Amino acid sequence: MPDLVARRSSAAGLGEAFPAPTGPDATVLFPASAGARPTLPAALRQKGWAVDVVVAYRTVPAQAPSASTVRELEAASALTFASPSAVDAYVSLRTEAGLPLPIPPVVACIGPVTADAARAAGLGAVVAARAAVADLVAALTDALAGGVPGGGRGAARR
């Protein structure tokens, strides 16, 4: 069971919910990706925590897709992204493939930061109501069923 659950499922939301330290040597270990945004460590430092950021993983680019993978993408109804780095990787694949990788009719993102990255890359985006897998699935389901953006179970918006 978690000791703390933020109201908003985001780095900013967790930073807001995190309590102030109770002692002088309060330290937080923050395992993160190599390209992680500094939002949460900055919020914790502002509250008085010492934050040790440790790179736990790196996102590496995938190889250019095969012709059969491109055909599968052409037949897809939707594309989902759970992080801005995934958007960047897909856009890079499109560029490196030397042929335009298809963009399905629905592009769904787990949260607003990822949706901003998708939009900046020229992809429209349906956004989950909360940054949670269940909400991403609900938003995607609504969009594929022709649901009204901004309404329905997933409260998706474009």
The tally of domains found in the chain comes to 2
Contacts of 19 (CB under 8 A, 6+ apart): 4, 47
Q: Which two tokens stand for residue 99?
A: 């042929």
Is 1 inside a domain boundary? no
Residues 60 and 58: their CA atoms lie apart, in Å, by 6
Q: What is the CATH number of the domain that holds 138?
A: 3.40.50.10090
Q: Do 133 and 107 sit in the same domain of this protein?
A: yes
Q: pLDDT for 38-95, tens place per residue? A: 999 999 999 999 999 999 998 777 777 777 877 888 888 999 998 888 888 888 876 6
Is 155 inside a domain boundary? no
Q: Do 71 and 133 sit in the same domain of this protein?
A: yes
Q: pLDDT for 86-143, tens place per residue? A: 888 888 876 666 666 778 889 999 988 899 999 998 888 899 888 888 999 999 999 9
Q: Enter the pTM of the model.
A: 0.67
Which secondary-structure segment (H or E) carries 30?
A: strand 27-33
The domain in which residue 23 lies consists of 11-57
Q: Which two tokens stand for residue 21?
A: 């330290």
Mapping DSSP to helix (H, G, I), strand (E, B) and coil, where does residue 91 land? helix
Residues 152 and 136: their CA atoms lie apart, in Å, by 12
Is 3 inside a domain boundary? no
Is 137 inside a domain boundary? yes
Q: Do 71 and 50 sit in the same domain of this protein?
A: no
